[in-house]
Structure 1
Amino acid sequence: MADMSSKNDAPPSGEHGQRALAARLDWNLIRTFVVVADELNLSRAAERLFVTQPAVSQALKRLQAQLGYALVQRRGPHITLTGAGEEVHRIASGVFADVSSLEMPARDALEQVVGRVKLLSVSRVHSQRYNDFLADFHRRYPRVELEVEVLRGHDVLMALRQNTASFGLGLCRVDTPGIERRLIVPQRYALFCGPPHSLYDRAEVDIARLLHEDLVTFTGDYLGDTLSPLTLFREHHGFQGRLAASSSNLEEVCRLIMCGYGIGFLPEGAFRRETEAGMLRKLPPQEGLADVDIHLLWNTQRPLRVAETVFRDELLAAFDRE
């Protein structure tokens, strides 16, 4: 590499020259020079940069051409910095140190999110992605307190209308004034019976056989603040069995079905473990009955605090990923 004349061995001065230089300077070349200045050896610099030695030499030539003065003197295998090179190395090293430090304020900003999020939820939200989100959110925002209260789907909506919570995870099948909803967990409901039931060990069961069986239902047969599609299914197929038991709690509905009170509707995914363990048997139709999905819900008139906004945005982003 030819040594450049010492008369240009100084950076350009003046505000206009600084602006023009900043606009045209290739910062990748600056990074190459910093490594060369650290190593004072082109071969070692090339190894650190994962490029060839000729590529390093070419980068130095281009940088010196952009700056208009020499940065290094090369005599055989030996490299020394010119006076200007030492100054550029000092300045550039400081710039890269400042850029690297940008990560720390970002990490600190995450830890500085402080607040409380109150979440109302229906029971049995069966989703590994939701579990993963909660674990990741707590790791990234350890100072956000999360309170979860389990309610009926109807009560979740009522509480959100009354501004008593940040968000809800619930059943909201239709647009509701003042309530924003975003799909989080798709759910497919099916019919089940428990071991004591006469259908549990029957080899073949058709829908016609189910029409006269006793039923276990949700209290009021309402899901998501509107008439349940499960009720519509019953009416469409002409179910005539008597109501044997009911509950507003999903866990209790499951318990009553497992104890043989009758056949009943449950979300398949949420009770897969009980089904695989033989505590429940899925009944026809095998494709299930209806979709009753879980949504993230919030009151659009309620101003959100920082912690609440972060929780909502992070949760929606987690479920938007493929």
Structure 2
Amino acid sequence: MNEQVLVTGGAGFLGSNLCRNLLECGYDVLCVDNFYTGSKKNLLDILDNPFFEILRHDITFPLYVEVDHIYNLACPASPIHYQFDPVQTTKTSVHGAINMLGLAKRVKAKIFQASTSEVYGDPEIHPQMEEYWGHTNPIGVRACYDEGKRCAETLFFDYYRQHHLDIKVARIFNTYGPNMAMNDGRVISNFIIQALTNSPITLYGEGSQTRSFCYVDDMIQAFIKFMQVDSGPGPINLGNPQEITIKELSDLIIDITGSKSKITNKPLPQDDPIQRQPNIDLAKNILEWSPITSLEVGLEKTIHYFDALLKSEKTGL
């Protein structure tokens, strides 16, 4: 019998890509999602797979299933979505973690927590390494996500110490690729949609702030490898250390798409980090993992995905 894997948030961007890869690895996969930001469209190609199930459920409520592994990915991850209902965002991170940890304790499952680089806040050290405790605003507009994820990490490590639970905590840096939502408000999806429609490209500030972008295929391989190896609980940074300014990113997307879009500048959002770059030495040493997809190649694949999506919407297919 195949090992049973639960993926919460399995219809979202990362979750749907993870479900697909887990099936390819020979696991039975149970996808749980309340479809707040996830979509069944992300799973159309695997819905008929006999080793795949999908369950509509909100993890702020207890879940009773029998599984061997849990990947806890459920939580809106883009500012537009997590700030729309900040109380629910915090509940998803905190109550959701309590419920999934309780399930893991009951069935003795190994459990993975999709944490985030946002636990570092607007960092005072660069690049960010796992030993850094962060620089966050606990009462700002982003706190529902940042502090929710920080509290979830606290719960995971308390269950690890108190109940000897087998946990894995990954701090995920900016990730992009197919199955991103067009309206999620994240910079790569925003720029690509604007470029493909020849609309003005929205640049916040002067675009001098930096980010580091990891292609989704590389990220998912890191998730699975982290769960498979005996590497301890983490936390571990997962991301691509190649740093780029947002202005350079906009220029690159305009160049690849051949867009006629012009740049329009708007004020920086509150608490928007100025720099974001992972130190992935731990992932290299423990997981023997580092990203292999260049930004140019990853962007070309992502642009192709969004271009097909826009064309299908126009034709109504």
TM-score (norm 1): 0.20
**Based on CA coordinates, which of the two structures has the bigger radius of gyration?**
1
Specify which structure has the higher proportion of strand: 1
Which structure's relative contact order is higher, taking Cα pairs within 8 Å and 6+ residues apart? 1
User: Could you state the TM-score of these two structures normalised by the residue count of structure 2?
Assistant: 0.21
